[in-house]
Structure 1
Amino acid sequence: MSKTPQTVGRYSLLKRLGKGGMGIVFKALTPVIERVVALKVLEPSEAMQITMDADQLEQIFLTEAKTQASLHHPHIASVWDFDRDQQGRPFFTMEYICNNLGIMLGERFEVEQPSRPIAAEKVLQYGVQMLDGLDYLHHRQIVHRDIKPHNILVTDEDRVKICDFGMALVSGVSFAGPPNMQIGSPYYTPPEQQKNPHQVDHRADCYSAAVLLYRMLTGSLPGMQSFPLSLINPRYDEQWDQFFHIGLQWDPDKRFQSAAEMKESLQNLSLHAPLCPVTTAPFPSLPVPEVLRDSPANLCGARARRQLDLTELNRPRRYIDSDFREHQHGIFDQATGLLWRPGGSDFPLSWKEACHYIHQLNDHPEAAIRSWRLPTISELLSLLDECYNQTAPELFNPGKQWIWSSDAHGSQERWFLNSDMGYAGIQDEDCPCYVFAVTTIDTW
């Protein structure tokens, strides 16, 4: 017999997503309509319970839920429902968004460790959207106080949304913890917030946003290197240096004085040509095995990284020198013997939908090939290009960067490739990714 799912209120819990100081967040299922949501239930950490009594903690949680529910903006995550569970604990539900900037950057528990940089064009896009959301918050007299990668969600449409208002300062009112209590996250918190978190204003969020933008561009924290951005990468000129010189000022009076001003300054920045233009010169290559693994596997933990020969940031240590050729049925890679169906699925699909999509390709009455399948993560990694860390332009359409593999990670997750940033990741099976079918040239 199958085990009855655990419930919180009327919602069935599917998976634990994470725990913070105030509560636990679950992936949950709405009854009847079976809509997947993110559910946050009050479950304060031991440190918070020592610091404050139960009534204070509940009031903070209620303030978070009410604050976020009152906000209506395309770059703010939405709250949908509020209730109490069987034990009387308050909880609220939000839209379930699979990705966030922390996942994309590969930011680890040791925050000071290097992360994956994001393409400058995308950083500009995300930065403008984030600052637009912050501008809205600040007009509502709300200071977020915890802007960091994991609190910036990334939707299927590649839009960012600010979430987690548990530390927010609302109309000058916040919970009164001990004077030395840390509010915010190390490295992203401005000096004045570390000294007196209850007296900060919107300029604190502007500082945190500048740290995050710098991290996205470089993969490092501003304090970890002392060189101006223009000396690190010739794509950036002195205007970028000036932007971060202002944004990262320790004195709030010398910073951008509003998110709107910061957004306008960001929009006025320009980029030089990429460091690594498209070229026909061969890249340093990896000897190709006789056959790349084509059977799905369940790859977990450090063993998976060793098997796939990935770095700590889940990028290939070496790259295969692919040799793509036009073929009547797709794009053929002579280096690996793989035939890829170009274009991919029209829309991002869940894992179950991805399997159905492959089945439909093979069952089509006019199909010339009936051996299409989902690629393994090893096969997807063979497409990566050392210069851009991106996949072959002949194969993939712009905007289809999240791509399913056939490989599992435990019982509820699958491996995927992010073709924009050139890394392998793990995704919940209910999350949407695109599908690019593959077959071996001698199987059809």
Structure 2
Amino acid sequence: MSASCRRPACPGRYSPDGYCDECGHKAPTGVTELPPTSAATGGSARTRGSASGRSGRSGRGRLGAGLVEIARVPPRDPATAVMADPVVAEPRRFCLSCDKPVGRGRDGRPGRTEGFCPHCGTAFSFLPRLGAGDLVHDRYEVLGALAYGGLGWIYLARDRHVSDAVSDRWVVLKGLINTADPDAAAAAVTERRYLVEIDHPNIVKIHDFVQHPDPKTGDPVGYIVMEYVGGESLRDRLVARREETGAAGLPLAEVIAYGVEILPALDYLHDRDLLFCDFKPDNVIQAEEQLKLIDLGAVRHLSDEESAIYGTPGYQAPEIAAAGPSVASDLYTVGRSLAVLALGARGFTSTYATRLPTPEEAPLLAEHDAFYRVLRRATHPRAERRFGGAAEFSEQLLGVLREVLAVADGTPRPSTSLRFTPERRTFGTAAGDVAAAENGGRDAAGIPDPREVAAALPAPLVDVLDPGAGFLASLGTGAPDEVVRALTAAPVDSPEVGFRLVRAHLDAGHPRRARAELDARAAADPLDWRVDWHRGLAALADRDPAAARTSFEAVYHALPGERAARLALAAACECAGDAEAAAGHYARVWATDRGFLSAAFGLARLRLADGDRAGALAVLDQVPESSAHYLTAQVAATRAGIAGAADDGGPVDDLLGAARRLERLALDTERQARLAAELLERALDWLGGDGAGPHARERILGNELTERGVRFGLERTYRMLAQHARTREERYALVDRANAVRPRTLV
């Protein structure tokens, strides 16, 4: 049973990593022992296994990704960071060989800091080997101990070869807690071999590897010399935030920005076949406006199948013991760390040790579904279901960050997708098409045809590394059947050629052939999100929106930062009859990127159907004047206002607002007249038989807002439309309507 937290009024208990699961503070010296799953000093447990994984590619960003401001952490005076009393807390003392508790007190007496493990006989020592004034390698002057980690004590020192009267070069020396431990010694040798070559702005710089005789035995002890990073760990920032504001986690935008900033550092390691293995908030320092990965003691080669594996309960991937570390397991630790930073650490080593909180348990995840999906993919129990690399993880996180910020302050954060083209065309615009209404088109509340949606959605970008990319670049346009023949005769068979053939079959009206081609692609790579994307298109083309929704859900789960994936899901939900889910997805897409006009029309359509006319008008008015669909949106907004007076006695403000909007539109004469006729017909219905009514002083399209005035205006409009009639029958009908609506006069 773990010990209760010693902080006043805190109901938490100390978890295996040595921190309270409620307030997040470290366990002090003298508390009863922690669960035996934690490892010596630092909570990093060791296992053995093989390593496998793939690397990704990415360039580094800057803290905040240029989108959000994060308060800088001022540099800390190195001298103030030295521990006054360097002691390893008893709850964190474990044997490096058998992981059993050692050095524990009993009967009121403190535990021994040096001795032999009573379980396996291995010698242990938790005392610093170096003290203030010691000179290591005739170069590094020790000021004192800074902290202790999973593999050794950490000391602050001054580099005498660089320091001068003007400034000092501060460095950190990291040594082993117990050189008798073969795993620890092997880890030190590994660090000496390749860590000095690591050079990335977000990874602590290793300067040197030196030796210094043990003060007791005289045996040489190895020390890693690295740069001093005088900042604050993300774990410390989390605890400070909780104490200052009572919030469980850090602001979500800040957490995501941390992930976007630090993932390129892991990508850098992965590209060099190195794994970090023990990523957690404690091992990331913010100094000034930059993040640094510290404590590289657990770093290992992908091909290393022998050395000890270090990790921390609550962060380590579930397959580590059986399969060993991999790129996927590194990404798992990042996903868990982001969840802890956003939601707080409570329960992540107990209740949520093997799963994430649900949206019902954590409202933040319900509010930001895209962030929840990022976490779910990063921490999927099956390694092959996680992100393919740190670059892909960072790319999707950045897309989610844009959404979170846009929703928070109402300012769009558009970006160019690396996965999809823009919309091929805008769907669901019937409400803004004047001719459509006259010819029986769908009105503002009508659901778009699924086939229209399939033809309009963005298309996946061609992978330039695909063997068929060159052929596709030379493929011309033509009738769908001609494109099918050209693709069938392609000189190379590749995934991109196959997916292009699927779309060609759909364009030609052959969804069954498209599905057959998709089955072949799915057999080759069942985890390729493009398979689900094209299955969704095929389902829409076959007017099966429920199946399309299932497929696009899978795409959105794989790419939660992509607006195209969410737009497709929104359309499928709307076509399937789930207006609430569709409106939520449309709203997020439109809030983030005003380039997705289909989302604006979809959101306005659903709000209007739900009776939220003001909300619908607000969305349509957000379509920029520079857009090719600006007039279409304004026509739809005019129609929404006209429909506002659907019932007798309805709000006259809707009619007058629609009239003012129509007067401002730069439409041709015929379309202006058709809309005017719609508006005046509604006004006449609204007036009913009340004669002048209470609004006789108002004017609508230049006419008095009375039955007589509106009838005269409607007569003129019908006669104008008769001049643009395309057939004799249509012209006669309009003239008859003009005569019928004309008010009675004496002449």
TM-score (norm 2): 0.32
What's the offset of the Cα at 1:78? 0.4
Aligned to 1:166, the other structure's residue is in SS state helix
1:106 aligns with 2:252: no
What's the offset of the Cα at 1:258? 1.0
Instruction: Give CA-to-partner distance per residue, 1:137-178, whole Å, 9 cap, x none.
Output: 11111111100111112122x21121222222214115445x
User: Is contact 1:23–1:42 with CA below 8 Å preserved after alignment?
Assistant: yes
Residue of structure 2 in register with 1:233 after alignment: 364
1:244 aligns with 2:375: yes
Residue of structure 2 in register with 1:6 after alignment: 134
Instruction: Give CA-to-partner distance per residue, 1:202-228, whole Å, 9 cap, x none.
Output: 000100000111111121365547322
1:146 aligns with 2:275: no
Residue of structure 1 in register with 2:595 after alignment: none
Aligned to 1:89, the other structure's residue is in SS state strand
Residue of structure 1 in register with 2:341 after alignment: 216
Instruction: Give CA-to-partner distance per residue, 1:266-320, whole Å, 9 cap, x none.
Output: 011121678899xxxxxxxxxxxxxxxxxxxxxxxxxxxxxxxxxxxxxxxxxxx
Task: For 2:197 and 2:248, locate their aligned partners in 1 and report how far apart those are by CA, in whole Å.
Answer: 34
1:42 aligns with 2:176: yes
Q: 298, 311, 319: which is aligned to 1:167?
A: 298
Task: For 2:140 and 2:330, locate their aligned partners in 1 and report how far apart those are by CA, in whole Å.
Answer: 34
Where in structure 2 are there 5+ consecutive unaligned residues? 1-130, 215-219, 241-245, 411-747
Task: For 1:7 and 1:155, locate their aligned partners in 2 and report how far apart those are by CA, in whole Å.
Answer: 27
Query: Percent identity between the aligned chains?
Result: 24
Aligned to 2:381, the other structure's residue is in SS state coil
User: Is contact 1:230–1:236 with CA below 8 Å preserved after alignment?
Assistant: no
User: Is contact 1:83–1:91 with CA below 8 Å preserved after alignment?
Assistant: yes
Alignment of 1:143-292 (within 5 A): 143-156=275-288, 158-173=289-304, 175-177=306-308, 183-193=310-320, 195-196=321-322, 199-220=324-345, 223-224=351-352, 226-228=357-359, 232-233=363-364, 236-269=367-400, 270-271=403-404
Q: Which has the higher helix share?
A: 2
1:60 aligns with 2:187: yes
Task: For 1:232 and 1:275, locate their aligned partners in 2 and report how far apart those are by CA, in whole Å.
Answer: 16
Q: Which amino acid aligns with 1:28?
A: A
1:129 aligns with 2:288: no
User: Is contact 2:387–2:393 with CA below 8 Å preserved after alignment?
Assistant: yes
Residue of structure 2 in register with 1:292 after alignment: none
User: Is contact 2:155–2:172 with CA below 8 Å preserved after alignment?
Assistant: yes
Q: Which has the higher strand share?
A: 1
Where has structure 1 moved over 4 Å in runs of 4 or more?
Answer: 272-277
Task: For 1:102 and 1:78, locate their aligned partners in 2 and report how far apart those are by CA, in whole Å.
Answer: 21
1:77 aligns with 2:220: no
Q: Which amino acid aligns with 1:218?
A: L
Task: For 2:202 and 2:395, locate their aligned partners in 1 and report how far apart those are by CA, in whole Å.
Answer: 17
Residue of structure 2 in register with 1:31 after alignment: 160
Q: Which amino acid aligns with 2:170?
A: V
Task: For 2:382 and 2:365, locate their aligned partners in 1 and report how far apart those are by CA, in whole Å.
Answer: 29
Task: For 1:132 and 1:37, locate their aligned partners in 2 and report how far apart those are by CA, in whole Å.
Answer: 24
Q: Cα 1:191–1:235, aligned 2, differ >3 Å: closer, same or farther? A: closer
Task: For 1:234 and 1:252, locate their aligned partners in 2 and report how far apart those are by CA, in whole Å.
Answer: 22
User: Is contact 2:360–2:366 with CA below 8 Å preserved after alignment?
Assistant: no
Q: Which amino acid aligns with 1:167?
A: A
Residue of structure 2 in register with 1:91 after alignment: 223
Q: Which amino acid aligns with 1:79?
A: I
User: Is contact 1:230–1:238 with CA below 8 Å preserved after alignment?
Assistant: no
Q: Cα 1:8–1:126, aligned 2, differ >3 Å: closer, same or farther? A: same
State the structure with more CA Rg.
2
Task: For 1:231 and 1:4, locate their aligned partners in 2 and report how far apart those are by CA, in whole Å.
Answer: 48
Instruction: Give CA-to-partner distance per residue, 1:392-436, whole Å, 9 cap, x none.
Output: xxxxxxxxxxxxxxxxxxxxxxxxxxxxxxxxxxxxxxxxxxxxx
User: Is contact 1:229–1:236 with CA below 8 Å preserved after alignment?
Assistant: no
Instruction: Give CA-to-partner distance per residue, 1:176-221, whole Å, 9 cap, x none.
Output: 45xxxx720010001011x236x32100010000011111112136
Aligned to 1:191, the other structure's residue is in SS state coil
User: Is contact 2:211–2:223 with CA below 8 Å preserved after alignment?
Assistant: yes
What's the offset of the Cα at 1:14? 1.5
Residue of structure 2 in register with 1:22 after alignment: 151
Q: In angstroms, what is the RMSD of aligned CA positions?
A: 3.0
Greater relative contact order (CA < 8 Å, ≥ 6 in sequence): 1
Paired residues, number: 255
Task: For 1:161 and 1:118, locate their aligned partners in 2 and report how far apart those are by CA, in whole Å.
Answer: 18
What's the offset of the Cα at 1:120? 2.1
Q: Cα 1:138–1:201, aligned 2, differ >3 Å: closer, same or farther? A: same
What's the offset of the Cα at 1:253? 1.1
Q: Cα 1:43–1:262, aligned 2, differ >3 Å: closer, same or farther? A: same
Instruction: Give CA-to-partner distance per residue, 1:23-46, whole Å, 9 cap, x none.
Output: 21011111251321111123338x
What's the offset of the Cα at 1:66? 3.3
TM-score (norm 1): 0.52
Aligned to 2:263, the other structure's residue is in SS state helix
Q: Cα 1:236–1:118, aligned 2, differ >3 Å: closer, same or farther? A: same
